[in-house]
Structure 1
Amino acid sequence: MNGKVSPYKVGLGTLPGPVYHLPFPSPDNGASTQEAIQALDRLFEVEISSEEVACIIVEPVQGEGGFRLLDHVFAKHLRKVCDERGIVLIVDEIQSGFGRAGTRFAFTHLGIEPDLLLMGKSMASGLPLAAVAGRECLMNALPKGGLGGTYSGNAVACAAAKVVMEVMSDDNLAQWKNTQESLFLETHDRWKRSNRFPMLGPMTGIGSMRGIVFEDTLNATGAEHLATLLSAARQAGVLLMPSGRKRNVLRLLPPLTISQEHLSEGLFKIEQALGTLQEILAMHKARETE
């Protein structure tokens, strides 16, 4: 279902079942709410009847898409459309859930409530566990044992998740969010104001789920800049990941419980890697001049 061809669909052929993709309207990209609403209307008019649509699945904050927050007006429109047409609204919080957006779940920023909620990753503090929660009428529609899997009910992972939820108080969430968000914003602003790194674009996301867009320059594309940075950062001791359709958005996703000292050290190493990137660009420019 992922809307990203590489690396998730290359060589796999056509996936079973019809899946349709719509524009993702966000303050962090160029897609507008009106554009997305028109695309949804067209889908029901041209591609498939709404009566044949089982569900609409959306991330409140895109993960692979580049840490982009869904426009709250479009989120409410989706909720209204699903209610009117009998479609199940599923919110995917596998990346954004459990404190990443500064709240237990990111959908609370959008003023909506899903019919089904997908959870995973952070909920068991690294142990393998995922879960689905939803409205009683949906969760009770399956026969006993109809929803499960190989690792369902893993006792150790469930015990870890129980502790995670106990530790995740509103006070702790606010502290973790404020510490990371303020440091990310201040550091990004300082890097931009220094004018040392022309490839640095805007910061995306919300709370401590943040991305930095790398833009094209005369020397290279944003994706090429980021690929070089990832290699330089690895040499400096920081493991980073790209995101976005063009793989040009740097993900900032440290553990919520990281100390401010370790977080500052990590950002300092990224700044050093950016300096290395600038040196590489200067070398390439010198060679072109010669």
Structure 2
Amino acid sequence: MSNADLAARRDTAIARGVGMLTQVYADRAQNAEVWDVDGNRYIDFAAGIAVVNTGHCHPKVMAAVTEQMGRFTHTCHQVLPYAPYVRLAERLNDKVPGNFDKKTIFVTTGAEAVENAVKIARAATGRPAVIAFGGGFHGRTFMGMSLTGKVAPYKTGFGAMMPDVYHVPFPVELHGGSVDASLAAIDKLFKADLDPARVAAIILEPVQGEGGFYPAPAGLMRAIRKLCDTHGIVMIADEVQTGFARTGRLFAMEAYDVAADITTMAKGLGGGLPISAVTGRADLMDAAAPGGLGGTYGGNPLGVAAGNAVLDVIEEEDLCARANELGARLRQRLEAIRETTPQIVDVRGPGMMVAAEFNSADGSAPDADFTNRVRTEALSRGLILLTCGVYGNVIRFLAPLTVQDEVFAEALDILDAAITAAKGA
């Protein structure tokens, strides 16, 4: 069995719509390192798209899941509930930002968490409409896809989107945006197309993920909070990619002086196992009638066990501080590379949610081709990177927060060499 053999089998067995960034078929992984079926070693700066913040196969997470497997793997919490589900809910109610009583539900994916947050907001307000931001990513289900502010590849060919979903520009200063312009767009929307009394929720990411790792300005967060309070709108923070120490805080919203009413989370919560959550104001969370929320696999016992272990690891190993340390080292190295690389027009991001944005050498336009050359050059040298952004010209860095110092240093050297090679291609 080899990468080439599996690639040939994949082409006849798996639908074309499941895209693949590499043809590297993983065989085993440990912390920030992955070995493929051909025996090649890679440093993983993708972390399963910010899922294994605690590293591949963290011993404490593995032990918790193994112990739970010896007890039971599934009962469906709505049929036979179990104590770890209650404990994890209590812990998230305590840790999610917001000085108010909270309640939590568990589901399975980030998209499912977003779907349920919208359901809860609609049930609580009796209103149908939702406002989201251009460049945002909220999943591939029909509501998630409708909320997502990027057409290709997420919406292409899938027909009409869900009704009563509206988009306004996200304030990306690098691309000529501003908080004032975003707020003016909302004001215009309310005057021309949408009665604010019909809006159930406004959803946004504290740091846009797929959209390009653009942090939301503090002024935007304060303005959205005020807008929601004025019109009785539910504010939803999508922390699916930003949560669980990735930004140097347990949740990215801790960096702001306002709190969302509902928070969605997934990815890093399970340490590699599928679990997601919705945590919010208790009165909002109780708006749906019994049976209106849930799902057969929601809050699966193995995912819940992993979630409790992940919270322990983040606290015991101080991974928030570690994220800030790693991010500072990466940004410093990228800024040094930038001095001789005119294609790098921006280096940004809190904690270890860092991005580098690339334009043409004259700075005139986003350069997705150069960005992809950097990615492929890095891959050929054993470093796995991800691209993102509406223009495909951003590399996002999502190393496990547990990465060893020597492996991290090795990865930075590979990155430097990859950018140099991309310039010479």
SS in 2 for 1:273: helix
Deviations 1:47-71, CA, capped at 9 Å, x for gaps = 1100111110010100011111101
Which position in structure 2 is the counterpart of 1:199? 343
Aligned twin of 1:36: 182
Higher relative contact order (CA 8 A, sep 6+): 2
Q: Which residue identity lines up with residue 318 of structure 2 in the other structure?
A: N
Aligned to 2:388: 243
| Cα deviation, residue 279, structure 1 | 2.0
Is contact 2:375–2:384 with CA below 8 Å preserved after alignment?
A: yes
TM-score (norm 1): 0.91
Q: In 1, Cα distance between the equivalents of 2:423 and 2:361? A: 12
Worse-matched range after superposition: 19-28 or 200-209: 19-28
CA contact (8 A) 1:28 1:68 kept: no
Return the offset for 1:171: 6.8
Q: Which residue of 1 is the match for residue 336 of structure 2?
A: 190
Aligned counterparts of 2:359 and 2:171: Cα–Cα separation in 1: 20
Residue of structure 2 equivalent to 1:229: 374
**For 2:266 and 2:331, how far apart are their aligned partners in 1?**
27
Selected match of 2:196 from 43, 46, 50: 50
Query: What residue identity is the alignment partner of 1:116?
Result: I
Distance 1:83 1:170 in 2: 37
Give the deviation of 1:177 after TM superposition. 2.1
Counterpart residue number, 1:177: 323
- Any idea what SS the aligned residue of 2:279 has? strand
Equivalent residues of 2:250, 2:320 under 8 A apart: no
Contact 2:331 2:354 in 1 (8 A): no
Out of 147, 152, 168, the residue aligned to residue 314 of structure 2 is 168
The structural deviation recorded for 1:168 is: 1.8
Q: Could you tell which deviates more after superposition, 117-126 or 252-261? A: 252-261
- Paired residue for 2:267? 121
* Deviation, structure 1 residue 144: 2.4
1: CA distance, partners of 2:366 / 2:201: 37
Take 1:73 and 1:218, find their aligned partners in 2: how far apart are those partners?
A: 32
Partner residue of 1:284? none
Residue identity matched to 1:206? P
Distance, in Å, in 2 between the alignment partners of 1:252 and 1:27 is: 21
Compute the displacement of 1:30 (Å).
3.0
What is the letter of the counterpart of residue 349 of structure 2? G
Alpha carbons 1:57, 1:90 under 8 Å: kept: yes
Residue from 401, 405, 418 that aligns with 1:256: 401
Q: Are 1:68 and 2:214 matched, yes or no?
A: yes
- Match 2:358 to one of 214, 217, 236: 214
- How many angstroms does 1:198 deviate by? 2.4
Give the stretch that moved more between structures: 240-249 or 165-174.
165-174
The answer to whether the 8 A contact 1:125-1:161 is kept is yes
Unaligned runs of 5+ in 2: 1-146
Q: Does 1:80 align with 2:80?
A: no
CA–CA separation in structure 2 for the residues paired with 1:61 and 1:97: 10
CA distance in 2, matches of 1:96, 1:212: 17
Single out whichever of 245-254 and 226-235 deviates more from structure 2: 226-235
Question: Once structures 1 and 2 are overlaid, which stretch shifts more, 177-186 or 89-98?
Answer: 177-186
Deviations 1:67-115 (A, max 9, x none): 1110111111110111110111000000001111111111111211111
Structure 1 alignment gaps of length 5 or more = 281-290
**Bigger CA drift: 136-145 or 120-129?**
136-145
Does 1:24 pair with 2:177?
A: no
What is the number of equivalent residue pairs in this alignment? 278
Deviation at 1:222, TM superposition (A): 1.5
Q: CA RMSD in A?
A: 1.8
Identity %: 36
| Aligned partner letter, 1:255 | P
- Any idea what SS the aligned residue of 1:82 has? helix
Cα offsets for 1:199-258 (capped at 9, x unmatched)? 122112211111000012369951110111122111111121111110101001111111
> Does the Cα contact within 8 Å between 2:335 and 2:347 map onto a contact in 1?
no
User: 1:71, 1:110 within 8 Å by CA — same for their partners in 2?
Assistant: no
Does the Cα contact within 8 Å between 2:373 and 2:422 map onto a contact in 1? yes
SS at match of 2:246: coil
Given the two structures, how large is their TM-score scaled by the length of structure 2?
0.63
